[in-house]
Amino acid sequence: MVSKDDVMAALAAIPGPDGKTPLPKSGAIDGVTIRDGKVFLAIKVDPARAPAMEAMRSQVEARIKAVAGVASALVTLTAQAPQGAPRPAAAPEAPRPAARGSRPIEGVQKIIAVASGKGGVGKSTTACNLALGLSRLGLRVGVLDADLFGPSMPRLFGITEKPALAPDGKSLIPITKFGIKVMSIGFLVGDDSAIVWRGPMVISALNQFLRDVEWGELDVLVVDMPPGTGDVQLTMAQNVPLAGAVIVSTPQDLSLIDARRGIAMFKQVQAPLLGIVENMSYFQCPHCGGRTDVFAHGGARHEAEKQGVPFLGEIPLDIMIRETSDGGAPVVISAPDGPQAKAFLDVAERVRAELFEAGKPVRAAPRIFMS
């Protein structure tokens, strides 16, 4: 039987794509499959140089065929977007190109999702002020408005301009406001035009917003998720290595039922839960100073305890938060020393602690060996 080692040994004399390093040591070999004396081998190359690599490919193929016991050899060149090389599509035993995986986003250290089980609980307002709070703590922050059906970030940040195209002509440059990089579908379509998305369109739009936007170096990317527990949330979990999720809920039971679904979903996909924020926690009357628990109070804290996830804080139901949000001057910016901003800053502090100082060890991805 031919072994992988036999094949590798035969290739030791062939220089890799850089023209110097022996191919087996160059890291360019993307997988070897040997079945009944038939050898399939893929070599990773820069797609731009694929035509120039053809000579190497045929050389490798010839060399493998010369190994004792090899019945046939098929060598393909692969690239990020496979192209150029003949593909062994017809051969049922050929190795299949790997599907798009959960590649990290270059330059972005931690991605957190702000989610809610249902709409109307103040998720986007919380995401916006949380991002600003994290930025005030000295982190480099970006906000991705993934609520494609009802993008709120243009309004919340008071952004009306459209994002520019990067010099490469392929990616968008996010808009910087209050020191934060923001990207939203709302920049590209008007406030009053309906956005009607089919499921697969949402997924591809989301992938583009994650990967085809020049986020640059970020400590945290805050993703404002659409409400609910659907396709987009699952895609996030599958395509993006989430550092964690923040669930926003009001204290009322009706909202908590949905928050519970959100928690269950993130638990299922093993995305760490950073915790629950209780929004509209209580109403402090600006006239008499009296406090009213409009949606009851403390429900989210109890739920967090019950589910064993951290409780991140309470945001009061406050007209100032509402007005500043609608006015495009979020409260953390427009009234940075007020009690409302403090509520968000407290949440941001806890999120930062969970993200960067968490005592619990992060479980590393398993090592995968194909032999």
Partner 1 sequence: MSDEPKPGPDPWPSELRVQENGKLLKVTFDDGVVGSVSSERLRDASPSADKKRITLPGGRTVSIVAIEQVGNYAVRIGFDDGHDTGIYTWRLLRTLTTH
Binding site for partner 1 (CB under 8 A): 31, 33-35, 92-96, 98-99, 101-102, 237-242, 268-272, 361, 363-371
- The nearer residue to partner 1, 92 or 190, going by C-beta atoms, is 92
- The nearer residue to partner 1, 48 or 369, going by C-beta atoms, is 369
Give the shortest CB-196-to-partner 1 separation in angstroms: 26
Give the shortest CB-326-to-partner 1 separation in angstroms: 35
Give the shortest CB-35-to-partner 1 separation in angstroms: 7
Give the shortest CB-94-to-partner 1 separation in angstroms: 8
Whose CA is closest to 205, among 167, 232, 223, 182?
A: 232
- The nearer residue to partner 1, 194 or 368, going by C-beta atoms, is 368
For 295, 326, 334, the CA distances from 287, given in Å and listed in that order, are 20, 22, 21
Is there a contact between 267 and 301 (Cβ–Cβ < 8 Å)?
Answer: no
How crowded is the C-beta side of 93, counted as CA atoms within 13 Å? 13
Separation CA 14–CA 3 (nearest Å):
18
DSSP code per residue over 121-174: SSHHHHHHHHHHHHHHTT--EEEEE---SS--HHHHHT--SPPPBPTTSSSBPP
Separation CA 177–CA 283 (nearest Å):
30
DSSP code per residue over 309-335: --EEEEEEE-HHHHHHHHTT--HHHHS
Give the shortest CB-363-to-partner 1 separation in angstroms: 5
Give the shortest CB-33-to-partner 1 separation in angstroms: 6
DSSP 8-state secondary structure symbol assigned to residue 21: S
- The nearer residue to partner 1, 286 or 361, going by C-beta atoms, is 361
Is there a contact between 146 and 223 (Cβ–Cβ < 8 Å)?
Answer: yes
- The nearer residue to partner 1, 182 or 206, going by C-beta atoms, is 206
Give the shortest CB-348-to-partner 1 separation in angstroms: 23
Separation CA 112–CA 351 (nearest Å):
9
b/e per residue 216-244 (b: at least 16 CB within 10 A): eebbbbbbbbbbbbeebbebbbebbbbbb
Give the shortest CB-136-to-partner 1 separation in angstroms: 29
Whose CA is closest to 253, among 291, 304, 300, 301?
A: 300
- The nearer residue to partner 1, 110 or 118, going by C-beta atoms, is 110
Token pair belonging to 248: 């926003």
Is there a contact between 212 and 171 (Cβ–Cβ < 8 Å)?
Answer: yes
Give the shortest CB-93-to-partner 1 separation in angstroms: 5
- The nearer residue to partner 1, 261 or 301, going by C-beta atoms, is 261
- The nearer residue to partner 1, 185 or 273, going by C-beta atoms, is 273
- The nearer residue to partner 1, 68 or 364, going by C-beta atoms, is 364
